[in-house]
Chain A
């Protein structure tokens, strides 16, 4: 149900801006929660809700655009631009893996997709971190991240499910 293709260019741009703004607010909001931040790179992933909705609203290209713009802007706002490399590559893998889930395995609901997306986000993050510090031991950090992110993935997936069921589709038609 890729609704975005039916819209005009101006509406596409404005929708992209809307989604980026929403994701940005969520990612800045969650960076102020520090109870999960005992390890670097560990977040709830609230912005992933927007990425998931963007994926089903406008397809993979739209979701990647929104995700990359969000990581770029949030890394600039938080002051650490190198964070863009981490979350940018993570977002890319995340969207691709979620899209593959939609294509090949229809039994997986949005919660499962969210878990897979969170896992691949971590994979991307850890790969970039391992390359950046050129230390393969960074990969030993992946299981810990995966363990936490699976639970966070269920949480964000459930929120995304609630939003989708609430009929956001009608809202966008304005």
Chain B
């Protein structure tokens, strides 16, 4: 490797590291997460999944029933439901993926992240 080669190497590596840091840390691109609430297969509401500690309570009232979810420090949990079996309330909190489903009330709470890839074909 000549001197010019080493300079190119240094420029490319520093540029890429700086821009990776810039994109991920400062802009926070591609890490935006949303809590999507669906009832009866349609989108009911969409909230930003904030990392803040204070609890954000959302009540869902539809013709199928009543649900209450809490968003806190990057987690989502179903805290109350009008359904009989309460399996949605007993299900674990979700943070990065997965979903909470309340079948009797036809309510689905899932986490959607921006820029996520559904599938890749080569």
Binding site for B on A (CB under 8 A): 31, 40, 78-80, 83, 105, 107-109, 111-112, 115-116, 119, 137, 140, 142-144, 146-147, 150, 154
- In the assembled complex, the CB of B104 is this many whole angstroms from the nearest CB of chain A, namely 38
Residues of B bordering A, CB below 8 Å: 1-5, 8-9, 12-13, 15-17, 19-20, 23, 27, 29-30, 114-115, 117, 120-122
Known contacts A40-B122, A140-B23; A108/B8 CB under 8 A: yes
- Residues of chain A within 8 A of B5, CB atoms compared: 108-109, 111-112, 115
A148 to B27, CA, bound (A): 22
Q: Do B12 and A154 touch (CB < 8 A)? A: no
Verify A115–B17 contact, CB threshold 8 A: no
Majority SS at the chain B contact face: helix
Task: Tell me whether chain A's interface is mostly helix, strand or loop, or mixed.
Answer: helix
B107 to chain A, nearest CB (A): 30
A-B contact pairs, 8 of them (CB 8 A): A40-B117, A79-B122, A109-B2, A111-B1, A112-B2, A146-B16, A147-B13, A150-B12
- Measured CB to CB, the closest approach of chain B to A138, in angstroms, equals 9
A31 and chain B: residue at smallest CB distance = B122
Taking CB as reference atom, which chain A residue is nearest B1? Answer: A111
Q: Residue on A with the closest CB to B117?
A: A40
